[in-house]
A and B are shown apart, each in its own frame.
Chain A
Amino acid sequence: DAGITQSPRYKITETGRQVTLMCHQTWSHSYMFWYRQDLGHGLRLIYYSAAADITDKGEVPDGYVVSRSKTENFPLTLESATRSQTSVYFCASRRSPESAKGEQFFGPGTRLTVL
């Protein structure tokens, strides 16, 4: 089925380890986004990408790395995980036309716990 998927759905890791969260969409949407959701903060943008090989920082990029070699994939890497990165991570995508502004399609989320 078409859509946006995230893997893994749940991850427990230890401080200092590298972790990669995967995001895959089948719509060929140009834009993709990574958010983290924390209680009392809503969603905060980590990184976004307007197209393959084009990425830019969001509100809270420190400690994260992204890449986008293919349109459909947008992995998020925590190079050295810290406890403060315990959160629920959401990937999203949207089409490029102006008429599609605002309608981001969200994945189901990845719950990451850093011990």
Chain B
Amino acid sequence: AQSVTQPDIHITVSEGASLELRCNYSYGATPYLFWYVQSPGQGLQLLLKYFSGDTLVQGIKGFEAEFKRSQSSFNLRKPSVHWSDAAEYFCAVGPGDYKLSFGAGTTVTVRA
């Protein structure tokens, strides 16, 4: 069975500081991995995805993620956060994308 664990429920970061969100997955084959962001009261938006190839993936809004097969991880990073990055972030895994399994999410608060 596929599953995702996001160990951090809530992270607070200062504006301009770096951000790293952790994601660990369980999947029996080569996974398709995704990061989505949800702003308050909104639906989810895809930040980036990994299918194969280069293990460092660039996404929108200055985010990147690194796939580490040996650690079953797909951590999301941003070098310098902006107040608009305050949101909830979801990691997801699946065999393609029609049966994605989402993590419970990490809420990011940005302080001035």
Contacts and interface: CB of A to CB of B under 8 A. Distances in A.
Query: Are both chains from one complex?
Result: yes
Interface in A68-115: 90, 92, 94, 101-109
Contact of B102 (A44, A102, A105, A107): A44
B63 interface: no
Interface centre among A43, A45, A92 (most CB of B within 10 A): A43
Given A41-B104, A42-B90, A43-B90, A106 B45 contact: yes
B43 A106 contact: yes
B44 A90 contact: yes
A31 interface: yes
Contacts of B6: 42
A102 B59 CA distance: 13
Given A42-B104, A45-B99, A104 B46 contact: yes
A107 B98 contact: no
B31 to A, nearest CB: 11
Given A42-B103, A106-B44, A108-B42, A33 B32 contact: no
A34 interface: no
B51 interface: yes
A103 B46 contact: yes
A31 B17 CA distance: 38
Interface in A26-75: 31, 33, 40-45, 48, 50, 58-59
Nearest to B6: A42
B20 interface: no
A101 B90 contact: no
B34 interface: yes
Interface of B: 4, 6, 32, 34, 41-46, 49, 51, 90, 92, 94, 96-105
13 contacts: A42-B102, A43-B100, A45-B101, A90-B43, A101-B51, A101-B96, A102-B46, A104-B46, A104-B97, A106-B44, A107-B43, A109-B42, A109-B43
